[in-house]
Amino acid sequence: MVAQLHYNVMREVFTRFRAASPTPEGELHYTNAYTLVVAVALSAQATDVGVNRATRALFEVADTPQKMLDLGEERLIEHIKTIGLFRNKAKNVMRLSQILVDEFGGEVPSSRAALESLPGVGRKTANVVLNIWWHFPAQAVDTHIFRIGNRSGICPGKDVVAVERAIEDNVPAEFQQHAHHWLILHGRYICLARKPRCGDCLIADLCLFEEKTV
């Protein structure tokens, strides 16, 4: 595992990220807190593009928990059958919608614990919702961030919780709100898993990755 980058280097890393993209956003489409929860839950082991394609028509007819219950599981499946694990995800969406109606008055709760109590909503999904909808500086660690963190020294850790803690502990406060978005997008388009585009990387001179590409 590489060493954690020094504070001054971290500040420079995120200063560059911010200069290149001042207000980065997630790529999933949503219209409210509920559709955000559903979209993020559906995105597990699927691409954002594929989820957006499937939910475009879905969210026009079911953008609240009650409307989703009224739609029913079979009609939901018709909308999301192009997404991986769609049957299990459909069951989770119906169950979480019922819980939101029964226990939360049809509203999406704003605590991590309450969000994680919903079927199909893990820590990463909860953190995405807290960050995007409530602007809480929660760090949603996915495979991209885990890879970048351990390659570069930005946020090394043996598991996703350790990487999440490394971001919270080491990224200067003024960059915390957008930190995970910058890292996800950097991993998705520049710091690729097999052939990282180090020649196009704006932090290549700061990164500790020893096997940089030309």
Nearest to 119 by CA among 31, 59, 41: 41
Q: Tokens 């990755």 belong to which residue?
A: 209
158 in catalytic set? no
Residue among 63, 89, 124, 169 flagged as catalytic: 124
Active site residue 195: no
Look up residue 27 and give its two tokens: 């790529």
Catalytic residue chosen out of the listed positions 89, 142, 169, 195: 142
Q: Is 130:110 a contact under the CB 8 Å cutoff?
A: yes
The string over 87-118, giving b where at least 16 C-beta atoms fall within 10 Å of a residue's C-beta and e elsewhere, is: eebbebbbebbebbbeeeeeebbeebeebeeb
Per the CB < 8 A criterion, the answer to whether 39 and 89 are in contact is no
Catalytic residues: 124, 142
